[in-house]
Structure 1
């Protein structure tokens, strides 16, 4: 499928999704959000894709924020619908995707851009990355999950300060806070993401799917995370991947997971 604002490349078991609006610093508009939803949905159904890497085009920005011109004149009703639909279509959708998504944060990840990076399963940043949620400087708050995911990742106090000051932090501070897993040189960013993605792709896609669900359950107030883990753990025993994984271990060979 062809997209106007995205580039999608397949490399072996990996898919690289690049938000391609360089003249807008890859800002998220309605069309880009819809295209991302479509791309993630399609890739998640592709059994040949075991890991997705998400990044932004160019060296300046992962995603510099939402396209403010699209909603500057919205009413309360329209603003509420904007946040609800965006979370459903993209941010919550990515967080709960069965295929692991790595955010390769190159340059600015601000507002909706940081919220998108936080919705990914984990983040790797380049040295030039800058992150923040500047929404209160516009008279609004983060509406794509930022007030929820940022405290989960960096703690309530740090999240409150970042949100209320509308400030930015660099990649080293983001790493110190636990917002990103690794910081690498810009020219090494994709290589490092692919290296980790390849390690992930060697493992059971079925087990990884259940692990994602179990971890996310622990952050859902309506779900008992421990019970979700127990159920997922037990379910794994009925999969072909479990049979292959345990057989390979006992036979001292590399597992060839069927993904079932």
Structure 2
């Protein structure tokens, strides 16, 4: 029996369109649990059989037609799924489960927030900030071992973006988003596992725009994808990997998978 638990998170940007690279990743890395964001499909058309063939027979889905959508696929049992409406409009942006070891696993897709960092001119930006405020209120009530993963759509640190100065007014790195995410982290004293294993100011990105002709050469990345652990869960973490090579795979997502391994 394995003495570690490997959990992966990936904004796949359409699971049906990119099922081939998901299968490749599962075969090569074999995580015990995979959390997906932006699946972009209703539950009825989710490619469940493809995951079952690879041993991921436990599946918790929260899908939506053409937009958003989250899923947790697992080789180990999980129970008590829930779907929290932090967007307050019914969008499929969260699914949570409890694993056999008692850990809560919460998978979230935070809204991108549009292009203008002003809630008056751009209601989507206000919705994003309100979403994070609801997460803060939820976080303050937690009392069980919890791992919070997903696409937070915020790169909080200067070393989480290719140019802090040039992105200060760009949604995902604005001061108000960084401040709000900081309050979310403080609300449960979350440990940012990415920066626990890769301390700043070391470069750490998980997303590169499709607009770049050569994403690797320009390297204008941002760290939008995160894994945060309550202190009891963080104490069990033994490694964190950012799979940057996946950005060069056939029909890639603009995000890459991140993986943390925990001692059982």
TM over 0.5, yes or no?
no
**TM tier, smaller:** 0.3 to 0.5
Q: Which has the higher contact order (CA 8 A, sep 6+)?
A: 2
TM-score by length of 2: 0.32
Q: TM-score normalized by structure 1?
A: 0.33
Looking at secondary structure, tell me which structure has more helix per residue. 1
Structure with max Cα Rg: 1
